[in-house]
Each structure stands twice: as structure tokens, then as C-alpha cells.
Amino acid sequence: MKISIAQLNYHIGNFEKNRELICSAISKAKNEGSELVIFSELSVSGYPPLDLLDHSDFVRKCQETVGEIAKECRGIMAIVGSPIPNNNREGKKLFNSALVLSEGKIIFTSRKSLLPTYDIFDEYRYFEPERSFSVFNFGQFRIALTICEDLWDEQQFENEFEKSRLYTVSPMDELAVQSPDLVINISASPFSYSRIETRNNIFINKAKKYHLPVIDVNQTGANTELIFHGASVVVTPEGEIAEQLPFFEECIRTFVLEDVISGKNKPVSARPAEIELIYKALKTGIRDYFVKMNFRKAVIGLSGGIDSAVCLCLAATALGNENVSVLLLPSRFSSEHSVTDAVRLAENLDVKHEIISIEKPFTAFEESLSLLFSGLPSDVTEENIQARIRATMLMAYSNKFGHILLNTSNKSEAAVGYGTLYGDMAGGLSVIGDVYKTDVYRLAEFINRDSEVIPRNIITKAPSAELRPGQFDTDSLPDYNILDSILHLYIELQKPVSEIIASGLDKEVVRRVIKMINSNEYKRYQAPPILRISSKAFGAGRRMPLVAKY
């Protein structure tokens, strides 16, 4: 039996586009002789629809679209994901469902049982968990049709405080007693560089445990901060990966189920290097933010430092160099190399650039505030004014020409609050807000892998905000290698302070850094959405109280 996996890029609430995508894949799969084509979780609505699910007309539109797609399933079956109303008297109003469509009808419905409600996931906010389980009979095959987390009941968390069995139910254990021949898992798994292997192991372990082939269908593309890497897999009952779809690309792949079961396919295990995956994830994230928001052009403030350099390279690749403009906004404190390095980078990328000094507005602010501030020493106030003038310039460019400002703050500085709210923290989308400074350097080296795109001096010079004479990041922060180690232990792994210190890091430095993290929640609260590449990004996946003492 031929089966097709449709790994596609959906847009939340864009029912027309999602329907067209799905219907054209159905037609392609049919042409390839498939009997079944499988789409990913909530493919009809796009994932995650969030509080749009609180609107009854949004859910009605999902149902209408499912009906329209069902009509296209002539001589082929399709499995799509959609929210459907819970018709029981009690419980949440919806189920997160996998629907089997055939000859104009929904012929089988599977409903998600394990509802991830941690990190960026909020599924119990909307969905009632399924408590009963049945396999779907498809010709001679009995299919265990599961939805994403349903197979993740034994996952390991990076935060050791989490239980290794988060749920009290194992859907596959329930389904296994009904002797299925095949496991299908439709998912919407967002990218996290540290979880790629974990994810594959979930499918490999389930395949081996039940000695069944497992077909995983993930989506690709990005919706705001969440980037979906695709990389759908088909796993043999022996736990070999028989098919692996590409990372970060749409793809329809047709295969013969019997070949997978018999182990006829050669195992595949191609996986790009981590830094390449991060690069591709960020590129996808930028591209889809613009495509799906119906934007075309971006503007970036280029400082001559490495953060804005890497962001510019990513934006130019994602959007096309002709769609990206940069402003260089030097002040009296800017070193000469910051302008020349930035210009060289813009020229290397053939990106339009303008140089505007911020001197005039800075002087005007100084004069206007002189009476009020008279006799007081210059401090962080004047540094912030410069950063805010730059943001105002960039936003003026954005407003006048319709370019979206991309934010270029990295995760290390966002963590410790080394940035100016309404200044360098401004922008419509944060490109590298989930990338630690040390990984920004790795990205720069990756970008320069074939030739020097980013001028060497940008990579080698000591990081500086250039907001006062002779300022360097290391005046206020520990060395980035040390800083990033602490940040990773505290943010991603959520280790207690005592354990972080016990790992060999300096006690005073650890305490100071963690205090900086906690006391800057208020700044991050107002940060733009951040493209997520780690298992714990700032933003919707990390919810800290502001008025807390901790």
C-alpha cells in the first residue's frame, strides 16, 4: 500500500490557503498512486491557533474547511488535523482531532489524549483530553492514529525537576491491546536544537516497544516565534529510520508501507550540523513572519557589531538583499571601525545603506533636558537616550517606507537586561533573541564558511555598545563564555543556584548573573516576539511574575 506524507507550511486562520495546500497535496498523492495521504496536527487551522479557538466562528470555519477537503478525497483517503467541538455535556469545548476523510465524509476521528501544557504549549486551555482509544480499520491494516504528544508519555525533560512520566495515561499502551499494525502520529513539533534527537528517539522507541512501523508527519514553516523543522520520519518496527523528510522544507513523500515493514528501505540518518539547523531555522522564521504578515521589506540598524551583522546576513538570505535596508546611526562615541566595518558588510551583501548621525537629536535632547538635569553627572540616562534616538530613527524609516524593523538583541544580553527598552530592544521581530552570544559567533563563522561575508574585524573586535567613551561589554558583564554557561544552566536546565555554583562556576558571578536575570523580567515583558530555537526561549514559553522576590 502506498502512503504519502505531506509536510507543509500552514498559516493560522488562513483557511483558503491551508485548504489549497492540502487539496493540491491530495491530488499529487493520488497521482503518485497513494491510498492515504497524511497531514500534520491542526493543519486545517494552522498551529498554534491560541485564543482564536475561543471564537465559535473560527471553529465553524475549521469545520467548513474540513468538509470542503473531504469532498476532494475521491479514490484516496486523507488524514487532517482540526479542532472539533466536544459534543459531550461536560468538559472543554473542543477536541484536538485527527480526522480520516474519504469520499466526502469524515469516516474516523481520533482525539488527542495528552495535551502538552508547559513551555510554549497551552493545549489544556482549549481542549478536552480523550480518555477512550480505538484503532482505525483501513483495508487489512489496523491503524493506531495518534496526535503528537500522545506518543510523548515517556519523554525526558531537560529540567530534572519534571517527572519522566508527565501523564497518567499512555495512549499507545491503550491502543496496543487492540493489535494495531501501524502507528501514525500527526504532529506540530516546533524546532529546538537540543531536542532533535529526543524527538527521533520518541518514534524509534515506540516502534521498538510495540514492534510496529511508526509514521510521523510534522509541519514546516514558522508562525511568529515558533519554527517547525519538518524532518518527518518513517520508522521500521526494528527502530530504523526508513524515510526522513527534509528539514525546514515543504515536501510530499510517497512510500510503500510493506517495504517499510519488511525493512526493504535502507536506513537513513542524514542530519545537518546543529549550527546549520539554527541558521536555517532563523531564516525560515524571518521569511514566514514576513510572508504571513504580508510584509516584504525589512530595516536593520547596523552598529558594526556582530549581532546586527549576523541578523543582516540572515535577513538578506531570508528576504532577498533587495528587500533589506540598513541604517548606520553613529554618534560621537562611535569608533571609526564601526562605520567602516558596517559599510563593508552592507557592500558585501549588496544591501542599501544610509548613514545618519544621531548627533543633532542627541544635542537637542541634552539641551532640552539641561535645565532639569543641570549639575547632575552623565550616566545611563544619556546612554539610553542615544539608543532611543536610534530606535526612533529606525521606526521613522519603518513608518515612512513600510519596512519592518528587525531587532538584533541576543539572548545573553536579553537575559541580563543589557539593552535599552524602546531603544535597541525595539523591533517587530527579534531574530537572535534566543541565540546566546557565543552561538552568535558560531553563526558568524557558519555564514563565513565559504567566503568572508562578515568582515573579520566584526568577529574579532571586543564587543562594545559604544554609548560612552571606551565602553566594553566586559565592563558590566562577565566573559561571554562564562555568562552563557550560567545562563544555560539557569534558563534551559532550570538548575538551582546551589547546583550551578557546585558545577565549578564562581559563586559571586553566578549570584550576580542570576540576580540580573530575575530583576530584568520587566524589560523582557515588552520585548518583541523572539524566534525560538532552544528548549526555553524568552517569551510565551517562559512566564515569570514581575513583582516577585526570588
Contact 437, 463 (CB under 8 A): yes
Alpha-carbon torsion (391, 393, 396, 398), positive or negative: negative
Cα angle value 218/219/220 (rounded, 5°):
125
Closest separation between CB of residue 289 and a copy of itself, Å?
6
Residue of 30, 112, 280, 536 marked active site: 112
Closest separation between CB of residue 256 and a copy of itself, Å?
37
Residue 103: strand, helix, or coil: coil
What cell was used for 44? 486545517
User: Based on CB atoms, which residue is closest to a copy of itself, 124 or 193?
Assistant: 124
User: Based on CB atoms, which residue is closest to a copy of itself, 177 or 376?
Assistant: 376
User: Based on CB atoms, which residue is closest to a copy of itself, 223 or 410?
Assistant: 223
d(CA 294, CA 17): 13
Closest separation between CB of residue 47 and a copy of itself, Å?
9
Cα angle value 200/205/207 (rounded, 5°):
100
Write the single-letter amino acid at 337: H
User: Based on CB atoms, which residue is closest to a copy of itself, 13 or 267?
Assistant: 13
Write the single-letter amino acid at 117: T
Residue 235: strand, helix, or coil: strand
In angstroms, the first-to-last Cα distance of the chain is: 58
Give one DSSP letter per residue of 178-222, joined into a string: T--SEEEEE---B--TTSHHHHHHHHHHHHHHHT--EEEE--EEE
Q: Exposed, middle or buried by CB within 10 Å (0-12, 13-18, 19+), for 403?
A: buried
Is 206 an active-site residue?
A: no
Residue of 73, 148, 311, 313 marked active site: 148
Closest separation between CB of residue 494 and a copy of itself, Å?
5
User: Based on CB atoms, which residue is closest to a copy of itself, 179 or 363?
Assistant: 363
**Residue 148: DSSP 8-state:** G
Closest separation between CB of residue 346 and a copy of itself, Å?
16
Closest separation between CB of residue 97 and a copy of itself, Å?
17
d(CA 40, CA 219): 6
User: Based on CB atoms, which residue is closest to a copy of itself, 179 or 526?
Assistant: 526
Residue of 30, 41, 128, 243 marked active site: 41
Is 174 an active-site residue?
A: no
Is 249 an active-site residue?
A: no
Contact 285, 530 (CB under 8 A): no
**How would you classify residue 106: left for phi > 0, otherwise alpha for psi between -120 and 50, otherwise beta?**
beta
Closest separation between CB of residue 35 and a copy of itself, Å?
32
Q: Who contacts 410 (Cβ-Cβ below 8 Å, separation ≥6)?
A: 307, 432, 433, 435, 436, 437, 440
User: Based on CB atoms, which residue is closest to a copy of itself, 27 or 519?
Assistant: 519
List residues with catalytic annotation. Answer: 41, 112, 148
